[in-house]
Amino acid sequence: MFIHKINDDLALKLIELKDSNRVFELTDTSRNYLREWLPWLDTTTKLEDTIGFINMCLKGFSENRSINTVILFKGNIVGVAGFNNINWSNKTAQIGYWLGEEYQGYGIMTRVAEALTEYAFKELALNKVEIRVAVGNKKSRSIPERLGFINEGCIRQAEWLYDHYVDHVVYGILSEEWSNK
């Protein structure tokens, strides 16, 4: 079982099927809030959809392609974060994350992204970590900016968001830049 303690209140735990009820509940109660920037809310409408997502996460973990975790804040699941994609050939990983609406504003996601970045470099020996964020998602963009990631550019129309495309800013940081912070 993968558990990564960040501090006394915050930890990351490999997502498991037993987490499905809570992850779906959190998704459902934050649906309108999350829908502004996440494209999968309309296809996650019942518990079985979350179970399918978790099975996909576990398959990616077993194939060493991804690591998806639940965020534990004071022992409660408050969101999901992890490496959506690990490219071992190029020694890169992409971080993805979301947090339930009521847990916003406590600095949780900044600490989570920092811990994942540290883990990527120290434990996985990767060379680069990326975070891709919709251009207009200022809250999410502030996370890599706060952590010293470099704005590497914009991917035009990178994601279909229900009825329109959004551009993504690509933020990246190299292992040597992280260790020199």
Task: Tell me what pLDDT residue 1 has.
Answer: 57
Task: Tell me what pLDDT residue 3 has.
Answer: 86
* 145 phi/psi in degrees, rounded to 5: -65, -45
Going by their DSSP bridges, the two strands 3-5 and 10-14 should be labelled as antiparallel
CB 83 within 8 A of CB 77: no
Task: Tell me what pLDDT residue 180 has.
Answer: 78
Task: Tell me what pLDDT residue 168 has.
Answer: 98
Q: Which of 24-61 are b and which e, b meaning 16 or more Cβ less than 10 Å from the residue's Cβ? A: bebbeebeebbeebbeebeebeeeeebbebbeebbebb
Chain segment 94-108, per-residue pLDDT in tens: 999 999 999 999 999
Chain segment 107-142, per-residue pLDDT in tens: 999 999 999 999 999 999 999 999 999 999 999 999
Task: Tell me what pLDDT residue 67 has.
Answer: 96
| C-alpha to C-alpha distances, 153 to 63, 90, 157, 180, nearest whole angstrom | 30, 19, 13, 22
Q: Six-digit token pair at 39?
A: 């494209």
- Rg of the chain in Å (alpha carbons): 16
Query: pLDDT below 70 — which residues of the chain?
Result: 1
| Alpha carbons 32 and 113: distance in angstroms, whole number | 23
